[in-house]
Amino acid sequence: MAHKKDIIIGFFVGIIAVLIGIFFFDICIGIYKGSSFNRIINRSFSTTLLDKRASIGVLINLPIFYLFLNKKKEDIAKGVLLATILVGILFLINKL
């Protein structure tokens, strides 16, 4: 049972990391362009160019994945990898 629980925990960690990555990317770009905070928030929830922003957000999963591998938490790392693959497949389907 702990095996499945760890994979689910890793999956949610991976999804949350992607969302944080998208939001962080939007904040950085918004500050660079001099946008207002409301415009940055609206862009974060916008679906335009979401696939490009999500691909950058997925990059945050890489160090998280290796962190769990180094801590001998392979099942949680599997969940992070599963979340990364799922996000990739969803955006691949969205492109078609």
Q: Kindly state the tokens that stand for 94.
A: 């969205």
User: For residue 95, which amino acid is it?
Assistant: K
For residue 18, which of 69, 52, 67, 68 has the smallest C-alpha distance?
A: 52
What pLDDT score does 33 carry? Answer: 77
pLDDT tens digits, residue range 43-63?
A: 766 666 666 777 777 888 889
What pLDDT score does 47 carry? Answer: 63
CA dist 30 and 61 (Å) reads: 23
What pLDDT score does 45 carry? Answer: 67
Query: What three-state secondary structure class fits 59?
Result: coil
Q: Kindly state the tokens that stand for 17.
A: 């990391």
**pLDDT < 70: residue spans in the chain:** 1-2, 44-51
CA dist 4 and 38 (Å) reads: 40
Predicted TM-score (pTM) of this structure: 0.79
**How far from each other are the two terminal CA atoms of the chain, in whole angstroms?**
37
